Amino acid sequence: MTIAVYPGSFDPITNGHLDIGIRAAKLFEKLIFGVYDTPAKKLLFSTAERVEMVRQATVDLPNVEVTPFSGLTVDFAREVGAQAVVRGLRVGADFEREFEMALMNKKLSPDCELVCLMASLKYQFLSSSLLKEVASLGGYIDDLVPKTVAVALKRKVHSRV
């Protein structure tokens, strides 16, 4: 069985993440969204909340699993038997960062391949950070995230005011 992991903090999952996940799920027999437990950035949602949002967003994808993880992505991939890591690329800066990570990951785990999917044009600008900023300022985000995420995000940012 060909298994891939799609790692990220998904804080929160956006339609851009979901688009990459849907497309990757068509390429692999099983796709595991790996929700990174402890990224080096400030998170709005807990790990449990992020896992649940990703699960709700991917409920209609039968070959998708959602699992929290910590540590190195290549170690997580090895633990779940994945042969590939999926990443989405938006702009040139994404490529440079992903290229650096790919080289390090290849050094750490030579058998694990990196598969990069280009973000769809309508999501080229979208990031979770930008999304959270717009939501905190009352901007319209409903067409950028799954409905359950829009509700959770609005509730979270308005409870912090």
Q: Tell me which residues are annotated as active site.
A: 17, 41, 90, 128
Helix 147-159 to helix 47-57 angle, to the nearest 10 degrees? 150
CA 146 to CA 14: how far, in whole Å? 7
Say how many CA atoms lie within 13 Å of 43 toward its Cβ: 18
What 3-state DSSP class applies to 21? Answer: helix
**DSSP character string of 35-91:** EESS-SS--SS-HHHHHHHHHHHTTT-TTEEEEEE-S-HHHHHHHTT-SEEEEEE-S
Q: Are 90 and 124 in contact (CB under 8 A)?
A: yes
C-beta neighbour count of 127 within 10 angstroms: 14
